[in-house]
């Protein structure tokens, strides 16, 4: 699982552990994941941590080796890596570096990782890849152009993985969280998006909670969706 140090990523890690998964967790600083790894071990599951900056090729190559060796193979890859922050700005005023940085973290890094892991997964009989994309990749929000473009590209990468690797037993799907927040930040986040007028475009008229996203990821990763590939699930309260 990439991006395990984030709020959504850590919630997903706990949920997968409750479902019986052993996890290799990665974020930029491995020590940040130690408390989460301890939680997972306390559930009776195995957990390993690996530091990885998805803009650094050597880190990605090291992650591929360490993740495969940790438990003798990989059944599911959950790609939830994020840049340190979505770089804000429009197409004209965003710093040019923002577009490269977002693309490296969100698209190029996962692609390099999967180019290393996919052949091994094929030899082992296949597996499942789940990418975490974003509604901003399909429903643009002003000021998030670099982030939205990268997330839209990650969805296209997901489709290509499904198309090219499906004959070898690898499924690839995506889920797109909309406006979601943890319990601690829920009220503040709701106030912010209400002020921006986004809730009026959301059928359920509220911000979601992280735990409401988890079922979609587990479904796509598991054999419950064994005949599903190249698809995406929007968990966004019905944004129109």
Residues 25-34: contacts with CB within 8 Å, 24+ apart?
Answer: 25/1, 25/49, 25/50, 26/1, 26/2, 26/50, 26/51, 26/52, 26/63, 26/67, 27/2, 27/3, 27/51, 27/52, 28/52, 28/53, 29/5, 32/5, 33/4, 33/5
**pLDDT, tens digit, 9 for 90 and up, residues 64-91:** 999 999 999 999 999 987 776 656 788 9
Question: Is pLDDT of 92 > 80?
Answer: yes
Would you say the pTM of this structure is higher than 0.85? yes
Q: Give the three-state DSSP class for 122.
A: helix
Tokens of 108: 């190029």
pLDDT for the residue numbered 45: 98
pLDDT for the residue numbered 186: 64
pLDDT for the residue numbered 238: 87
**pLDDT, tens digit, 9 for 90 and up, residues 141-196:** 788 899 899 999 999 999 999 999 999 999 999 999 877 766 566 666 666 666 56
Question: Is pLDDT of 233 > 70?
Answer: yes
In the residue annotation, 147 being an active-site residue is answered as: yes
**pLDDT, tens digit, 9 for 90 and up, residues 191-210:** 666 656 777 778 888 888 88
pLDDT for the residue numbered 141: 78
- What is the β-pairing status of strands 76-79 and 232-235? unpaired
Nearest to 53 by CA among 134, 108, 119: 108
pLDDT for the residue numbered 185: 65
pLDDT for the residue numbered 181: 67
Asked if residues 184 and 220 have their Cβ atoms less than 8 Å apart, the reply is no
pLDDT for the residue numbered 8: 85
Tokens of 6: 């984030």
Residue of 144, 147, 160, 186 marked active site: 147
Instruction: Delineate the domains of the chain, giving CATH numbers in brackets.
Output: 7-235 (3.40.50.720)
Q: Strand pairing partners for 77?
A: 129
pLDDT for the residue numbered 192: 66
**pLDDT, tens digit, 9 for 90 and up, residues 15-61:** 999 999 999 999 999 899 999 999 999 999 999 999 999 999 999 99
**pLDDT, tens digit, 9 for 90 and up, residues 99-153:** 998 999 999 999 999 999 999 999 999 999 999 998 888 888 788 899 899 999 9
Residue 130 C-alpha from the chain's centroid: 7
Residue 206 C-alpha from the chain's centroid: 22
Interval 211-226 mean pLDDT: 94
Treating both helix axes as pointing N-terminal to C-terminal, what angle do 211-221 and 7-18 enclose, rounded to 10 degrees?
Answer: 60
């Amino acid at each position: 699982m990439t991006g395990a140090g984030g709020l959504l990523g850590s919630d997903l890690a706990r949920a997968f552990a409750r479902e019986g998964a052993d996890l290799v967790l990665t974020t930029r600083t491995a020590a940040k994941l130690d408390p989460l790894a301890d939680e997972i071990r306390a559930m009776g599951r195995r957990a390993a941590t690996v530091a990885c900056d998805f803009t650094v090729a050597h880190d990605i190559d090291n992650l591929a080796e360490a993740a495969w060796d940790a438990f003798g193979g990989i059944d599911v890859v959950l790609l939830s890596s994020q840049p340190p922050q979505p770089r804000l700005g429009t197409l004209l005023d965003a710093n040019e570096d923002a577009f490269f940085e977002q693309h490296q973290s969100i698209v190029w890094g996962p692609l390099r990782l999967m180019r290393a892991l996919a052949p091994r997964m094929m030899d082992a009989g296949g597996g499942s890849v789940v990418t975490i994309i974003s509604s901003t990749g399909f429903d643009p929000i002003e000021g998030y152009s670099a982030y939205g473009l990268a997330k839209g590209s990650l969805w296209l990468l997901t489709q290509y993985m499904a198309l090219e690797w499906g004959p070898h037993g690898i499924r690839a799907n995506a889920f797109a969280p909309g406006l979601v927040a943890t319990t601690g930040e829920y009220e503040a986040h709701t106030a912010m998006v209400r002020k921006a007028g986004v809730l009026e475009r959301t059928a359920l008229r509220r911000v979601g909670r992280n735990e409401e996203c988890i079922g979609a990821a587990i479904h796509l990763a598991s054999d419950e969706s064994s005949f599903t590939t190249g698809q995406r699930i929007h968990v966004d309260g019905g944004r129109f």
